[in-house]
Amino acid sequence: MQLIIAGKAHPADRAGQDLIRQWIDFIRHPVARRHVIFLSDYDMSLTEHLVQGSDVWVNTPRRPWEASGTSGMKVLVNGGINLSELDGWWAEAYTPEVGWAIGDGQEHGDDPAWDANEAEQLYNVLENEVVPEFYDRNEQGIPTKWLARMRASMSRLTPQYSAARTVREYTEQHYLPAAIAFHNRSTLGGTVGTNIVHWERALREKWSSLAFGELRISSNSDGHHFEIDVYLDGLDPNSVRVELYADGVNGESPVRQEMNRFDASKSSEPDWATYQVTVTAMRPVADFTPRIVPKHESVNVPLELDLIRWQR
């Protein structure tokens, strides 16, 4: 088994430079010298050779520092198999049939104990899964299980993780919607665009004066009922969205439940409105907080306007 290490540290990345020095010191040991080599000046030209000649592509970033993982994607079409941290593209692509993984898909910061845990995982996977599978040959000397994994990796992942998919999804999800939005705003002499400017100006002028009044909560076995008074200071209620928010748990997305406005506020003041919503009792009441965000059917919030008002 041969381990080929390549990498480059930014001139200001002292920790990365120290790590490379540790690699080189380790490789100089007589036991390691026959099996490990470090290739300096890592760049795209060197990568071109590495992705064509590697049986297994090992990538071990600390979550969440893997920017994407395009080097592992390049290995696919060359028949290499990935063994990587569950981060970047591999967190999406990995299944046991197409390669190997280490980590638990969670973030652990700079915890040395977790680094040691993942190092042990890596050694165990290499020793007990990767190497035995590579050398498990039939009568003709062919590693059938290895080839099956290689074919699964190439056939399932290569079409999905490619520049073609990148261009297609950017076009469908971003470029075309942006072009349509621009067209819609510029038609009729730019009427829609003018309305958006007036909407944003009104929000910015009034935003600091928006306030929450009394929050009333009642609960039963079916759910939690939230009701709150909101001071809008003369702002059009249709220009904002009052919602109940809770952070996501167990890897799930945050809860963003829109609250419904009463036709007539319980408050006697004209600039007040009352909002209500009922949510399931699966989460405790303390998890939820009302908040106000901008609302406009032609504006991407919060990308284009990131105002937000929390109930305190």
pLDDT, one tens digit per residue, over 16-59 is: 899 999 999 999 999 999 999 999 888 889 999 999 999 999 99
Asked if the structure places residue 149 within a domain, the reply is: yes
266 pLDDT above the threshold of 70: no
Mean pLDDT (the chain, rounded): 92
Domain match, 57 and 152 both: yes
Rounded to a whole number of angstroms, the distance between the first and last alpha carbons of the chain is 60
Of the listed ranges 32-41, 216-225, 258-267, 296-305, the one predicted with least confidence: 258-267
Domain match, 232 and 138 both: no
Domain match, 129 and 217 both: no
Domain match, 156 and 219 both: no
What is the domain-level CATH number for residue 137? 3.40.50.2000
268 pLDDT above the threshold of 70: no
The residues near 87 (Cβ < 8 Å, ≥ 6 apart) are 61, 63, 64, 65, 66, 69, 103
Domain match, 141 and 56 both: yes
Domain match, 157 and 239 both: no
- The residue-averaged pLDDT of 62-77 equals 90
Domain match, 223 and 141 both: no
Cα torsion 71, 74, 76, 77 to 10°: value is -170
Asked if the structure places residue 62 within a domain, the reply is: yes
- The residue-averaged pLDDT of 3-12 equals 90
Q: How many domains does the chain have?
A: 2
Asked if the structure places residue 254 within a domain, the reply is: yes
Domain match, 79 and 149 both: yes
267 pLDDT above the threshold of 60: no
CA 281 to chain centre: 28
Asked if the structure places residue 285 within a domain, the reply is: yes
301 pLDDT above the threshold of 80: yes
pLDDT at residue 255, rounded to an integer? 93
Domain match, 129 and 223 both: no
Give the residue from 161, 182, 199 where a domain finishes.
Answer: 161
pLDDT at residue 307, rounded to an integer? 95
Give the residue from 129, 145, 161 where a domain finishes.
Answer: 161
Q: Kindly state the tokens that stand for 228.
A: 């709150």
- Report for 213-222, 238-247, 251-260: range of highest mean pLDDT: 238-247
97 pLDDT above the threshold of 90: yes
Domain match, 219 and 132 both: no
Asked if the structure places residue 223 within a domain, the reply is: yes
Give the residue from 129, 161, 193 where a domain finishes.
Answer: 161
pLDDT at residue 110, rounded to an integer? 87
Q: How confident is the model at residue 271 (pLDDT cuts 50, 70, 90)?
A: confident
Asked if the structure places residue 189 within a domain, the reply is: no
Query: What letter does residue 209 receive in the DSSP assignment?
Result: G
Asked if the structure places residue 12 within a domain, the reply is: no
What is the domain-level CATH number for residue 294? 2.60.40
The domain of 127 spans 43-161
Q: How confident is the model at residue 132 (pLDDT cuts 50, 70, 90)?
A: very high
